[in-house]
Chain A
Amino acid sequence: MIDSFFLLLDGFATALTWSNLLYCFIGVMLGMIIGVLPGLGPVSGTALLIPITFGMEPVSAIIMLSGIFYGSMYGGTITSVLVNVPGEAASVITCIDGYEMTKNGRAGAALGVAAIGSFIGGIVAVVALTFFGPILADVALNFGPPEFFAIMLLGMLMIVALMGKSLVRGMIAAVLGLVFAMIGQDLVSGEYRFTFGSLELMEGIDFAVMAMGLFGISEILLNAEKPTQIGNVPKVKGLLPRKGEWSPTLKSAGRGTGIGMILGMIPGANSIIASTFSYMLEKKVAKDPSRFGKGAIEGVAGPETANNAHSGAALIPLFSLGLPSSPTMAVILGAFIMHGLTPGPALFTKNPDFVWGLIASMFIGNALLLILNLPLVGMWAKIAMIPYKLLYPIILMVILIGTYSLKGSLWDVGMMLVFGIIGYLMKKLDIPMSAMIVTFILGSQLESSMLQSLSISTEGFLIFLTRPISAVILIIAFIVFALSIFSGVKNKRGKLAADVEM
């Protein structure tokens, strides 16, 4: 515990250098913009910036990319509250009471409460990461390939179990991701697989290419059918809640933090589940539930806190186990690997400067966001007003050039467009893309951990069941899987259904 504290102080020394402060600032600003703009989500946003980070030090690169991730959570709220259009899926719930508050002339208070709640949720989650992350990593240091195989399998199954209406389609997405991951050279045997004689496919498919296509291009195509109309943005006055509202606001922020943190650590339980859950809880504990839907301040504070706590907590399994719980996390994991870092238990011991610098930057980033958010609300609202007809060609162009700049290869650009169309079709068919990209990124690790396990095993596949930890994890995975089949048969999946980026 106390070690973590001192290491964190060292981390601040890294994060507070001018260049890293600047990257953190750029990251959270871009995150806000991505959150505010329709048509550009966190996955394509982070993937787009990966080529830019090539020349940077790993710690600066990841500081910036994570800034985008948690920054977009703040940004998504602004349009939900002001114009009833969620900038990010996680802010859908905020529309309900947030927009009502705006109609009552209380937009300022709604935004203020959301910002404060987000800050509380974000900071508490980072504190949890500071103290809980190393402990989890310590435990995981004793894990061998069988345990990691089991954890990855559990993570994938959780994502499949929690996303989408149909279990079959979720499974299809997951398996397709694994199949795509096999294209190129096999790390274990060195054999080239599924290359169809193409030189370009020998290198495999770049995860950033896939992410930009699936989440960037498809989003633009979907928006082209039903363009989101953004009406006039109301004037924002006064950012603080009334005197009597402070205590209920802080209480709901507290509950939201708890919910967000717990769900954040569970792979597949996306931020929309966290904010929905929080909203339901607030409604339940309220003395007068009829206020909800008519501008209840708790209905903004709770969910907004929950989704930020969620995004912070989602970093805990990523850092300590190397397990991404959502597509955005998967892209950040890809960026780690690109910069020569392996997320996982060894990260805390092998690259302490990196980890603690990053964690410290998240404290700074959350503080920056709070400062940027409140006084600059007017400016963010103006950005939301940029007409979409002007915006989407620019976004497309940046995606095209961003993909090209990864390797300077037009093949990648073509591939990205193919994934764009695949993504669009998947969305229409309701096959969850999130499951596909997560399994794609974990694919080669899943395979190699399995092969390694079998090579150290004397009893074949039984090794996964004779080692206690992996056996327990696999049993949990099996139960999760069985339950999701059961819920599928009973037709009870409807409520969970959502393919969300974060």
Chain B
Amino acid sequence: MNINVKQFNAGVWAGLVILAVAVIAFVISFQYSYSGIVGPGPGFFPFWLSLILMILAVLYIYESIKGKNVSDEEWPTGHSLKKIVFIIMALLLFLLLFVLCGYLVAGTVFLIVLFFKEYKWWQTVALSVGITMFIYVMFNNVLKVHIPANGILF
């Protein structure tokens, strides 16, 4: 039998994270009263759900250790891992710039970052500015959904 060692670990880790979430939820659930005026109160569902989740997490860990029903998906390595991290960083950069400088700057920079490797520099700039402006006009003027053009800095 061919057990993917990496996958095997991933399942165990995921199970542990879920178990932690379940335990936290279980502890918190005691803050809410278990029974109310008419039967169960606001604590009833949280209590049972987190209890069930704990049991399921343990079963999941067990399943992963035994190598049963493991996921067929492979984890990214090397180039593809870099690419994913890169996209996530770009998304976080957008969020940060959005707060600081507003949408127009954030959007343009975000697109430049993602287009940069694929296109010539002038194509990159033209595409980024053009698309950002287009989305801005679409949302603000056509769909009447306000997007702030400025941020905290200016």
Contacts and interface: CB of A to CB of B under 8 A. Distances in A.
A397 interface: yes
Contacts of A169: 60, 69
A404 B144 contact: no
B100 to A, nearest CB: 11
Contact of B36 (A189, A410, A417): A189
Contacts of B42: 186, 188-189, 191, 193
Contacts of B91: 217, 396, 400, 417, 420
Contacts of A293: none
B131 A397 contact: yes
Given A191-B32, A417-B95, A430-B71, A168 B111 contact: no
Nearest to A167: B69
A457 B40 CA distance: 12
B25 A430 contact: no
Contacts of B95: 410, 413-414, 417
Interface in A182-201: 182, 186, 188-189, 191, 193-194
A186 B87 CA distance: 36
B20 to A, nearest CB: 13
Contact of B87 (A220, A405, A414, A431): A220
Contact of A179 (B11, B53, B76, B115): B53
B10 interface: yes
Given A166-B69, A168-B63, A179 B139 contact: no
A468 interface: no
B70 to A, nearest CB: 8
Contacts of B84: 221, 224-225, 424
Contacts of A171: 52, 56
Interface in A229-288: none
Contacts of B139: 401, 405
Interface residues of B, number: 62
A401 B72 contact: no
Contact of A451 (B28, B40, B73): B40
A428 B40 contact: no
A425 B13 CA distance: 11
B44 to A, nearest CB: 8
Contact of B40 (A226, A431, A454, A493): A454
Contact of B53 (A172, A225, A394, A413): A172
A168 B68 CA distance: 11
A358 interface: no
A496 interface: no
Given A166-B69, A220-B87, A417-B92, A429 B10 contact: yes
B65 interface: no
Nearest to A226: B80
A-side interface size class: 35 or more
A421 interface: yes
Contacts of B44: 451
Interface string B53-84: 10011011001000011111101100010011
A340 interface: no
B149 interface: no
B76 A225 contact: yes
B105 interface: no
Given A166-B63, A224-B83, A404-B147, A393 B110 contact: yes
Nearest to B72: A430
B18 interface: yes
A413 B96 CA distance: 11
Interface in B19-64: 21, 25, 28, 32, 36, 38-42, 44-46, 49-50, 52-53, 56-57, 59-60, 63
10 contacts: A54-B145, A166-B69, A168-B69, A176-B53, A189-B41, A224-B84, A389-B118, A393-B111, A400-B91, A405-B147
| Top 3 A-B pairs, shortest CB-CB distance | A430-B71, A454-B39, A455-B38
Interface of B: 10-11, 14, 18, 21, 25, 28, 32, 36, 38-42, 44-46, 49-50, 52-53, 56-57, 59-60, 63, 68-73, 75-76, 80, 83-84, 87-88, 91-92, 94-95, 98-99, 103, 107, 110-111, 114-115, 118, 127, 131-132, 135, 139, 143-147
Given A165-B71, A194-B28, 18 more contacts: A51-B145, A52-B143, A166-B63, A172-B57, A175-B56, A178-B49, A182-B45, A188-B42, A194-B46, A225-B84, A393-B114, A396-B110, A397-B135, A404-B98, A405-B139, A410-B95, A410-B99, A431-B14
